[in-house]
Amino acid sequence: MTFTQDHLLGIEHLHPVEITTILDLAQDYVGLNRSAEKHGRALEGMTQINMFFENSTRTQASFELAGKRLGADVMNMAMAHSSLKKGETLIDTALTLNAMHPDLLVVRHGNSGAVDLLAQKVNCAVLNAGDGKHEHPTQALLDALTIRRAKGRLHRLTVAICGDIAHSRVARSNLILLGKMENRVRLVGPGTLMPKGVEDFGVEVFDDMKAGLEGADVVMMLRLQRERMDGGFVPSEREYFHRFGLDAEKLAYAKPDAIVMHPGPMNRGVEIDGAIADDINRSVIQEQVEMGVAVRMAAMDLLAQNLRRRRERDRLRSISDE
Amino acid sequence: MMWFHNARLIDPEAGTDALGTLLVRDGAILERDGPFPKGARAVDCAGKCLAPGIVDMGVQVGEPGAQHKESLRTAGLAAARGGVTTIVMRPDTDPAIDTPEVLEYVTRRAEARTPVNIRAMAALTRGREGREMAEISFLLDAGAVAFTDGDHVSTDTKVLSRCMAYARGLGALVIAHPQDPGLSHGTCATSGKFASLRGLPAVSPMAERMGFDRDMGLVEMTGVRYHADQITSARTLPALERAKANGLDVTAGISIHHLTLNELDVGGYRSFFKFTPPLRSEDDRRAMVQAVAEGLIDVICSMHTPQDEESKRLPFEEAAAGAVGLETLLPAAMRLYHSEGLDLPTIWRALSLNPAKRLGLAGGRLTPDAPADLVLFDPDAPFVLDRATLASKSKNTPYDGARMEGRVLATYVAAVCVFDAAEVTA
């Protein structure tokens, strides 16, 4: 077992072996989560603070549950309405937090790179729960675990990520992770929602679902945010659904056993047909939510182990210094 | 089967102008320069010119919204009389053609009322307001041949760049009106001696270059297929030449009015000579004729814009811009033949072949399998234009009372005769 990170800020920093380590441990926690006694002790005595500068229900609940199941004391801070609104800088917030001695800090922020900045200023393990249009590493990890369980492997698969790539941190984390694990990644979406230069990330780019889904093992749909549909990036919901919404006809281009994923929350009838989302033979959307808790437990467990080790090392060093 | 013989065949594709015959069957061209086949109806062209019908890229039809100025029926009649076999309708109707529903409505009505082919362009943004993208994919499926907001120039380059990026993904053609919106706002003449003498608010031709340069930046960024509706100033030509040399998918058009008239024609504030963009200097006009001859400017169109008397009988600044042109396009284009030294195949390349090619239409050719959309005309027949005789509902032509040469004798759409001058005069 190898995991050397102090923080989980992005998939970019992870070695493929570390990814496998997280997924293997998460696989164990799936069993724990399905048992009657859902209690682990990995985080006992530790304080976990969830700081969400952007509103979130699902991700925050998932992190909260993951922490509680491992015995941590969990506190939620809804930063969207807090002192930041009163003018406090992110650095000052970090200093305030340091005084509370947290061990795990889960952060979501609307600006790319904000979580990295915070991680430099606090003395605990930081988990990125989504920063701007940059990364959302636990989402990519839970997607990876879902794929590995459904397909029996996490390499040499063709994965089509479809929709609003440009504004999606989920897409970025996923394409990095899937690339590291040696899969073929395709990005499908209109030119207006495709980031510039993305071809150079080792992915194939399509603006047509038929070509993009041809022979895919995994079809990953992304949410199209409503504020992007009103003629700014795509003309209308109905045209978007016509061209890029996943329905039975478009899914037929993928492999017959292709699975359908969605990070949620879904807009039925915009990016995905309700019938596909509910098809238990194809859709693994509910499983993704379940894997989310397990993956977050694994990530926090591993970070806590490293944190304990680091603190022990520091303690011994300070003794020997005396 | 129809066999046209003793015809001067104007072939813009081959660049030839020679006597020959043309055999037509089932609405399409079957054979050229072949012998008379038994059972065919022979049409003696008496040595007159037979050319592919004009594809007029950018016609305003008042329907829906301004049927008192022009309807699909009257526009169709005017087109047939002018040798225009395909009307490419502008979306500046009311409501604008910005949804597949409006497009289908217009197409359905046109089919029942118009003797010539009619194809529609659609708005690039909703209501041509430059704020929200139109449903480009649905509109393409419904038959839109291009996307344009007409002379509404977008001030928001972000919106425009997104529209272009989206259109690029669908292979759609975007048509823009190159003009700097700030400089041209509120003006009605080209800046210079004449506009100063008349005291008219004027815009430098440089505004066109600036608008074009901006558009070229966006084209380079997005890779979209782009057509400039009207390039009218010599200042813009080097930029156009550069864009083409750099491999951008760019073409340009011009109205027949900017090729045959100049700013002095406005004379004593004659509002029938008010256009968007305004008429240019004689130097500009001659440079434009040269650009058409060289093929730098690809398309000549009528920019048919019907306006009723009430819209024109106003002080020059307040009068509506534009002129009808479906019927006068061909005789006015003959001025390029008689006075400017352009040959007929070159003129027809710009009137028929290039617009058809750019819009992906089958017309504009005299080759086998091309549709038998043809115009038979006498390039030398002289006449004095009387605007009262025009078939258009609106009579706002700048050529009223002008001495012209070149008359349409007959127009065929899919081998069906939709206009015959002999019947009209007889």
- Write the DSSP string, B325-392: -TTTHHHHHHHHHHHS---HHHHHIIIIIHHHHHHT-S-S--STTSB--EEEEEEEEEEE--GGG-SS
Kindly determine whether residue B166 and residue A243, on different chains, have CB atoms separated by under 8 Å: no
B43 contacts B283 by C-beta, under 8 angstroms: no
Whether the pLDDT of residue B225 is over 70: the answer is: yes
Question: Hey, CA dihedral for B315, B316, B320, B326, is it positive or negative?
Answer: positive
Question: If contacts are CB pairs under 8 Å, which of residues 68-107 in chain B contact chain A?
Answer: none
Q: Is any Cβ of chain B less than 8 angstroms from the Cβ of A192?
A: yes
Whether the pLDDT of residue B161 is over 70: the answer is: yes
- What average pLDDT does the structure give for chain B? 96
State the average pLDDT over residues A11-40.
96
Whether the pLDDT of residue B307 is over 90: the answer is: yes
Q: What angle, 0 to 180 degrees and rounded to 10, lies between the N-to-C axes of helices A58-69 and A285-321?
A: 50
State the average pLDDT over residues A27-44.
94
Q: By C-alpha distance, which of B219, B242, B233, B324 is closest to B278?
A: B233
pLDDT of residue A56: 87
How far, in Å, CA of A133 to CA of A115, rounded? Answer: 12
Residues of chain A positioned with their CB less than 8 A from the CB of B165: 190-192
- pLDDT band at residue A1 under the 50/70/90 scheme: low
* Closest CB to B136 among A233, A235, A238: A235
Residues of chain B positioned with their CB less than 8 A from the CB of A243: 137
| Amino acid residing at A307 | L
Whole-angstrom distance between the N-terminal and C-terminal Cα of chain A?
34
Distance from the Cα of B105 to chain A's closest Cα (Å) equals: 19
State the average pLDDT over residues A56-69.
95
**Residue in this structure with the two tokens 């930046």, named with its chain if needed:** B217
Whether the pLDDT of residue B149 is over 80: the answer is: yes
Kindly determine whether residue B137 and residue A191, on different chains, have CB atoms separated by under 8 Å: no
The domain that holds B162 is classified in CATH as: 3.20.20.140
Question: If contacts are CB pairs under 8 Å, which of residues 106-125 in chain B contact chain A?
Answer: 125
User: Strand B16-25 relative to strand B2-11: parallel, antiparallel, unpaired?
Assistant: antiparallel
Q: Which residues contact A243 (CB under 8 A, 6 or more apart)?
A: A190, A209, B137
Query: A186 labelled as ligand-binding?
Result: no
Cβ of B105: how many Cβ atoms within 10 Å?
A: 15
Query: For chain B, how many structural domains are there in total?
Result: 1
Least confident segment among A5-9, A78-82, A101-105, B282-286: A78-82
State the average pLDDT over residues A177-189.
97
Question: If contacts are CB pairs under 8 Å, which of residues 138-197 in chain B contact chain A?
Answer: 138, 159, 162, 165-166, 168-170
pLDDT of residue A229: 65
Please report, to the nearest 10 degrees, the dihedral formed by the alpha carbons of residues B315, B321, B327, B330 taken in order: 110
Whether the pLDDT of residue B206 is over 60: the answer is: yes
- pLDDT band at residue A98 under the 50/70/90 scheme: confident
How far, in Å, CA of B304 to CA of B297, rounded? Answer: 19
B167 to chain A: closest CA residue = A191
* Domain boundary assignment for chain A: 7-135+289-307, 137-284
Least confident segment among A57-71, A219-233, B363-377, B402-416: A219-233
Residues of chain A positioned with their CB less than 8 A from the CB of B135: 235-236, 238-239
Kindly determine whether residue B132 and residue A243, on different chains, have CB atoms separated by under 8 Å: no
Whether the pLDDT of residue A231 is over 70: the answer is: no
Residue B304's SS3 state is strand
Is residue B278 domain-resident? yes
Q: Give per-residue burial for A176-194: e unless 16+ CB within 10 Å, then b.
A: bbbbbbebbbbbbbbbbbb
Residue span of the structural domain in which B132 resides:
53-359
Residues of chain B positioned with their CB less than 8 A from the CB of A242: 137-138
Is residue B118 domain-resident? yes
Residues of chain B positioned with their CB less than 8 A from the CB of A190: 165-166, 169
pLDDT of residue A84: 58
Percentage of chain B exceeding pLDDT 90: 98
How far, in Å, CA of B128 to CA of B122, rounded? Answer: 9
**ipTM passes above 0.90:** no
Q: By C-alpha distance, which of B360, B238, B217, B220 is closest to B294?
A: B238
Whether the pLDDT of residue B424 is over 70: the answer is: no
B224 to chain A: closest CA residue = A191
Same fold, A7-135+289-307 and A137-284: yes
B412: part of which helix (H) or strand (E)?
A: strand B403-413
Whether the pLDDT of residue A87 is over 90: the answer is: no
A223 contacts A266 by C-beta, under 8 angstroms: yes
Task: Indicate the class that CATH gives domain A137-284.
Answer: alpha beta
State the average pLDDT over residues A215-241.
87
State the average pLDDT over residues A272-284.
95
How far, in Å, CA of A161 to CA of B24, rounded? Answer: 52
pLDDT of residue A88: 79
Is residue B371 domain-resident? no
pLDDT of residue A94: 83
pLDDT of residue A228: 67
Q: Is any Cβ of chain A less than 8 angstroms from the Cβ of B132?
A: yes
Token reading at A263:
């990070």
| Amino acid residing at B107 | T
Question: What's the CATH architecture for A7-135+289-307?
Answer: 3-Layer(aba) Sandwich (3.40)
Q: Is any Cβ of chain B less than 8 angstroms from the Cβ of A235?
A: yes
* Closest CB to B132 among A231, A242, A243: A231
B288: part of which helix (H) or strand (E)?
A: helix B282-294
B22 contacts B41 by C-beta, under 8 angstroms: no
B127 to chain A: closest CA residue = A231
Q: What angle, 0 to 180 degrees and rounded to 10, lies between the N-to-C axes of helices A285-321 and A16-34?
A: 110
Whether the pLDDT of residue B342 is over 60: the answer is: yes
pLDDT of residue A286: 95
**Residue in this structure with the two tokens 């440079």, named with its chain if needed:** B287
Backbone φ and ψ of B12, nearest 5°: -70, -25
pLDDT of residue B104: 96
Q: By C-alpha distance, which of B134, B71, B142, B136 is closest to B107?
A: B142
State the average pLDDT over residues B127-150.
96
CA atoms within 13 A on the CB side of A54: 16
State the average pLDDT over residues A80-100.
78
Residues of chain B positioned with their CB less than 8 A from the CB of A192: 162, 165-166
B223 to chain A: closest CA residue = A191
Query: A250 labelled as ligand-binding?
Result: no
Q: Give the mutation candidate from B129, B162, B168 for the A interface (greatest A CB count, under 10 A).
A: B162
Question: Hey, CA dihedral for B362, B365, B370, B372, is it positive or negative?
Answer: positive
pLDDT of residue A82: 65
Cβ of B130: how many Cβ atoms within 10 Å?
A: 19
